[in-house]
Amino acid sequence: MTDAASPFMEKLGGHFGARVRISQQRGEITLEADPADYKSVLFALRDRDEFAFEQMIDLCGVDYLSYGEAEWDTTDVSSEGFSRGVEGEGPGRFTWAGRPLADGPAMRFATVVHLLSIKHNRRIRVRCFAADNSMPVIDSSVDVYPVANWFEREAFDLFGIIYSGHPDLRRILTDYGFVGHPFRKDFPLIGNVEVRYDEDKGRVIYQPVSIEPRVGVPKTIREDSRRQQAQSEQAQVKP
C-alpha cells in the first residue's frame, strides 16, 4: 500500500482477506482480484451493505505489454518546462512484418472496472488480470452490472479479451471482417489495411495501408521547471 491504510481499506481487507490485493495511491483505492474470485468480489461489492457499490461507471481493457515505456524524453531536452525529444520508437510504430513477437509480461491483459457507491459517496477501482496472454479470458460481469454488456464488447473488440458468459460477445466498433485488435500494443498504429472506393469496380476495396508510421509526441509537463518555480515565487510573496 503506497499511502496509509484508510478505515475503508481495512474494512475491505477484513472481508476479502487474501483473495484480493488492495492499494491506495493519490486517494484512489484499487482492489485487484484473481480471475477465479473476480465475479464473487463484484457481487460482494455490490450487495454487502458496508460496500454498496450499486453503479458501474466504466469498464475497459488494458494491455500492459509496454507498460512504463515511452518514446519521449521528459527530463533533459529543454529548460522551458516541457520536452519533445524522441528517444527511439515507442509501442505501435512498426510495420506488421517487424512487429514485436514477445509475449510481454507474465500478466499482460487486464479488465479495469470503476464502481460508485451512491449510498456511501465512495468510489473504487477493481482490476483483474487474465491468466493466459495467448487467450485472455475473464468472467463476464453482465449479470452483476447489466451496463457492462457494451463495455465488455468494446474491450473484446479492441483488446481481444474474451468475457466468459457474455450474452452477445461480438465486435462493436471495428468493421465487419476486421482482423486483429487495434488497441493492443503489438498492433501497428498505422493499421494493416485501408479502404478506398474503386471507380472501376464500383465498390469499396481493401488494400495494404499506404501511410508511413508517424510520431505523435505530446507536450509533457515536467515536475522540475516552470510550475515549481512559480510555486516557489508565490511562497516568497508575503501578504
Average pLDDT score, the chain: 82
The pLDDT > 70 percentage for the chain reads: 71
- Report pLDDT digits (tens) over 34-88: 999 999 999 999 999 999 999 999 999 999 887 776 665 555 555 554 445 555 5
Would you say 102 and 143 are in contact if contact means Cβ atoms under 8 Å apart? no
Q: Which domains does the chain have, with CATH numbers?
A: 1-65+106-189 (3.30.460.80), 71-99+193-226 (no CATH)
Average pLDDT over residues 214-230: 56
Q: Side-chain half-sphere of 76: how many Cα atoms within 13 Å?
A: 1
- Indicate the pLDDT class of residue 151, thresholds 50, 70 and 90: very high
* pLDDT, greater one: 9 or 87: 9
Would you say 1 and 24 are in contact if contact means Cβ atoms under 8 Å apart? yes
By CB atoms closer than 10 A (0-12, 13-18, 19+), residue 5 is middle
The whole-model pTM stands at 0.75
